[in-house]
Chains A and B, each alone.
Chain A
């Protein structure tokens, strides 16, 4: 089957179109939607599929993202396979409902096209939106390319619905940079997608009247913490499920994704850790530096929730200096969210690299070859002197 897929003709699609096609092939039962830039085209395309009868989905046009997530929760509790898409303020408005979706263990899948949060108002890419939801109990997958965003969404269904997980999953891709860029992509057939995701049969649902069950009940001091403990353990188990679903996807379709993407790190002394599309630009720079004999590497996290902390520590253990680049600021005087978690993951290692935080690309500010090169230069200097300039700093200013 892998050979067959590799021989398939490629097509050119934007990230948004590819996500909409994945949703068409998944054919969810319910899609509550309130479109927002830059994810608008996902719902625009998908609503055409609904209107044309290409899917059986009930599209619910709601009056806000808070209502969109509320409708997702209701439909998922009723036993439906549920998907939607949003960005930025839309995800922010879903905030309280995000916790209810995960706490009720509902395997909702959403695409978040990453966009900056107001104020000042801005429609372009950064990761403030999904980073703001990082403790909401959702599995988070990040995507470097259009192809990966499409593949991640298909895998997300399996991850969310796995009986060991039963958690909502958020697939993230960069606003405009990926959502609006046409790139080469190989699509699967609808039948391949359907056979991969299988039929969704929830063990319990509100509409299963032969087995009545309660969802979202009040819990007090005697029970709330037990629920949270179970939720936490489900998140721990999600890591292995992401691995096994990705391995099965690779076996069936020939495209291989790990929890992390370790690029030329085996013997690297200096490395950049980064998410999403900027990883591609960083890889180009790594190759250039390698030609000059500099031992540079890159680590991209595909999975951020749960955090693959052991894999991160293992991938970076031989580095002497590492820069973690965040496209979001925690506004804490102590670096971005990715920085803090990666640095913490390295704490128990026998040898610890110097780790610095660099904030880049907020509100769509371009991250260029020169920006990555400058960071690597700074890391080389840190290796030489044993000292870092500043722990946290804004770049691409």
Chain B
């Protein structure tokens, strides 16, 4: 089958996961990859569970179905774990990154992951975003954590792309806050 890296993002509407998937896709594209970044909307209301996906490849991406078997799963809101099947379809070597103050061992239990092949990482992305951006927006700390624990994209490439693409959209203060959030996400993510 085609050789893709596949990512699934779980969050609630307004937590910025669609933007996170977009930023990841754009950064990978700038690094020379073929990408997809797409949301899966359900009911369009604040707080509703939302998914977003990435595919990253060295070849043009032809597949247009939803991501079924993501190796990388990012969970922006741990209260979704009991509501949405966040581990569904994941392979034995899956990587989970969860926004929580809890330890990876605690999250492993909550996620119900048995096999030793899968890895669980945690990052208190809500706290970081409150301190850097001034509101709970866990997407950019999660992206920072992703650069640390996966080889999908480097932290520098992520930040450079973000600055370039969003300089016109956001105030300088917002850009700086998000860059700080990405840096802290990368340095504060915890593994088992």
Name A residues whose Cβ lies closer than 8 Å to a Cβ of B.
Answer: 10-12, 123, 174, 176-178, 180-184, 277-278, 280-281, 283-284, 288, 366-369
Contacts and interface: CB of A to CB of B under 8 A. Distances in A.
B36 interface: yes
Given A180-B39, A182-B37, A182-B38, A12 B26 contact: yes
Contacts of A278: 64
14 contacts: A176-B38, A177-B64, A178-B64, A180-B41, A181-B37, A182-B37, A183-B36, A184-B29, A184-B35, A277-B64, A280-B64, A281-B62, A367-B64, A369-B65
A181 B36 CA distance: 6
A213 B35 CA distance: 52
Contacts of A284: 1-2, 62-63
By DSSP majority rule, is chain A's interface helix, strand, loop, or mixed? mixed
A174 B44 CA distance: 19
Nearest to A146: B36
Interface centre among A177, A181, A281, A368 (most CB of B within 10 A): A181
Contacts of B1: 284, 288, 369
Contacts of A12: 22, 25-26, 29, 35, 37
Interface residues of B, number: 23
Given A184-B29, A280-B64, 4 more contacts: A182-B35, A182-B37, A277-B64, A281-B63
A281 B35 contact: no
A29 B3 CA distance: 45
Nearest to B165: A12
B38 to A, nearest CB: 4
A283 B65 CA distance: 12
Contact of B68 (A180, A182, A184, A368): A368
Contacts of A288: 1
B38 A181 contact: yes
B29 A177 contact: no
A283 B62 CA distance: 8
Nearest to B30: A12
Nearest to A9: B30
Contacts of B34: 184
A369 B1 CA distance: 10
A177 B41 CA distance: 11
